[in-house]
């Protein structure tokens, strides 16, 4: 097992030199995405113009179509950076992710109607109120104004037909009309842009926001003059606009820069979108468990694991959840009891102590690579924007960041390996709720901006 572990250490370990090379390639992709439409990393202008003041107030609805759940929120912004939030969650089935696109949005409209009806009954929403709504749709969309977005491609395992290339806001408005929902869609945003705005609302040193969960993404505030593909709009070049990077697509198609192993290639080739979302497939929570499962299956085929046992359960694709890696890494108990439980309960196989120690070491390798690659993405934005000297805060959210043991520490370690001691100036922290609070703040900012007649047509 020790010989095999050394092989995997060489496969999954990223040196500081390799990381710096990835950062440079990443920066080039970011610049290219700002310069021209239709690039691999699309660098999507969000039409969120500038930072919130912290004094936004009023009641706003937020609908978040996430990777696992649909979430509906009522956010009361109270000014002074304060807010209250009530919410409901609705689980998305794998069938819904693959069914007709309009049917998926109809489900969103129906759930929103249920939430509003119950809020009217409890008195938190007035009976005749039509509330402004921020729609969080965390998939790459082409936007030419804040309440418009054409889905470029699905990510996070969605494949619903009849929606790619169409305006999701227009489709969602049809769903709201179908169920007579008293809400006005004011802004379309993604959870990452919302996280950027919500985190800055409470911590003005926040310059970047990242999501490390089922998918991965980043957003930051860019000078409009540095976005050549928007030059035709005649906006003030000194103004600022939030950019939704959609960096999960970095190094897609050509695969020139990222350290893909044969396991990563299998995941890519058997995914709904082969060749796409190359960065995401190496670091997001949807795929880390599958990477480890593929390694285990290879070793089973080589006659090295679970000798004489029936292993059909672990041979089912995506049966090994990324949460299992978290548990395996956090297991401090004698002889790794947590790992015993995972394999016996979920996969009906018994493990030896040597196997358990091997699995824990493998989980660390896969998790550490994901965190260090994540730090490359952060470093690319920091380097591009010149944030290293003064330092900045990075609002980070998502199940990997919040629940995976040591993930944040490894990101910080990666930043130090890339930048040296100055890497300590870049600090990640648990972000504010972007898909709920952030979406509501964006809706509030948009209402105020348009009421003041500032770029009212976008």
Catalytic residue status for 153: yes
- Token pair of 214 as six digits: 């089922």
Distance in angstroms (rounded) separating the CA atoms of residues 70 and 90 = 5
- Token pair of 252 as six digits: 């897609």
The residue whose two tokens read 């020139």 is: 256
Active-site residue, selected from the candidate residues 71, 153, 356, 410: 153
Separation of first and last alpha carbons in the chain: 60
Residues near 148 by beta carbon (within 8 Å), at least 6 away in sequence = 167, 169, 170, 188
Active-site residue, selected from the candidate residues 64, 106, 167, 191: 191
Q: Would you say 216 and 138 are in contact if contact means Cβ atoms under 8 Å apart?
A: no
Catalytic residue status for 356: no
Q: Would you say 136 and 114 are in contact if contact means Cβ atoms under 8 Å apart?
A: no
Distance in angstroms (rounded) separating the CA atoms of residues 110 and 120 = 15
Active-site residue, selected from the candidate residues 138, 175, 199, 383: 138
336: left (phi over 0), alpha (psi -120 to 50) or beta: left
Strand 183-189 to 131-137 pairing:
parallel
Write the burial class of residue 25 (CB in 10 Å: 0-12 exposed, 13-18 middle, 19+ buried).
Answer: middle
Distance in angstroms (rounded) separating the CA atoms of residues 285 and 322 = 6
Q: Which of 60, 450, 445 is nearest to 221 (CA)?
A: 445
Catalytic residue status for 424: no
**Whole-number CA gyration radius for the chain:** 23
Catalytic sites, residue numbers: 138, 153, 191
């Amino acid at each position: 097992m020790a010989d095999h572990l050394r092989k995997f250490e060489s496969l999954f370990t990223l040196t500081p030199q390799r990381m710096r090379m990835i950062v440079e390639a990443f920066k080039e992709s970011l610049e290219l995405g700002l310069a021209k439409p239709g690039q691999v990393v699309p660098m999507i202008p969000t039409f969120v113009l500038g930072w919130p003041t912290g004094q936004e107030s009023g009641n706003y609805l937020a609908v978040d179509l996430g990777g696992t759940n649909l979430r509906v929120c009522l956010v009361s912004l109270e000014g002074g950076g304060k807010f209250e939030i009530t919410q409901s969650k609705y689980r998305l089935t794998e069938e819904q992710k693959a069914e007709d696109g309009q049917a998926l949005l109809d489900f969103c409209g129906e759930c929103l109607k249920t939430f509003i009806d119950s809020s009217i009954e409890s008195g938190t929403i007035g009976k005749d109120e039509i509330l402004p709504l921020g729609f969080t749709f965390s998939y790459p969309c082409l936007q030419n104004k804040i309440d418009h977005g054409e889905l470029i491609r699905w990510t996070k395992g969605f494949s619903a037909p009849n929606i790619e290339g169409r305006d999701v806001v227009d489709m969602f408005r049809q769903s709201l009309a179908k169920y007579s929902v008293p809400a006005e869609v004011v802004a379309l945003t993604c959870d990452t842009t919302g996280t950027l705005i919500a985190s800055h609302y409470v911590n003005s040193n926040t310059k970047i926001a990242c999501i490390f969960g089922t998918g991965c993404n980043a957003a930051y505030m860019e000078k409009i003059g540095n976005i050549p593909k928007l030059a035709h709009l005649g906006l003030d070049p000194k103004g600022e606009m939030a950019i939704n990077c959609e960096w999960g697509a970095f190094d897609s198609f050509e695969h020139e820069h990222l350290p893909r192993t044969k396991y990563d290639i299998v995941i890519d080739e058997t995914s709904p979108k082969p060749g796409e979302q190359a960065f995401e497939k190496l670091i997001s929570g949807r795929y880390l468990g599958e990477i480890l499962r593929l390694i285990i299956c290879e070793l089973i085929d080589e006659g090295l694991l679970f000798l004489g046992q029936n292993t059909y359960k672990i041979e089912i694709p995506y049966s090994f959840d990324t949460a299992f890696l978290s548990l395996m890494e956090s297991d401090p108990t004698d002889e790794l009891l947590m790992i015993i439980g995972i394999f016996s309960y979920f996969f009906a196989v018994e493990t030896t102590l040597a196997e358990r120690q091997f699995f824990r070491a493998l989980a660390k390798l896969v998790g550490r690579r994901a965190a260090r690659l994540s730090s490359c993405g952060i470093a690319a934005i920091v380097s591009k924007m010149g944030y290293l000297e003064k330092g900045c805060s990075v609002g980070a959210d998502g199940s990997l960041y919040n629940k995976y043991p040591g993930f944040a520490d490894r990101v910080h370690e990666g930043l130090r390996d890339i930048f040296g001691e100055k890497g300590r100036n870049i600090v990640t922290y648990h972000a504010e709720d972007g898909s709920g609070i952030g979406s509501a703040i964006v809706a509030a900012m948009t209402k105020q901006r348009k009421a003041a007649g500032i770029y009212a047509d976008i």
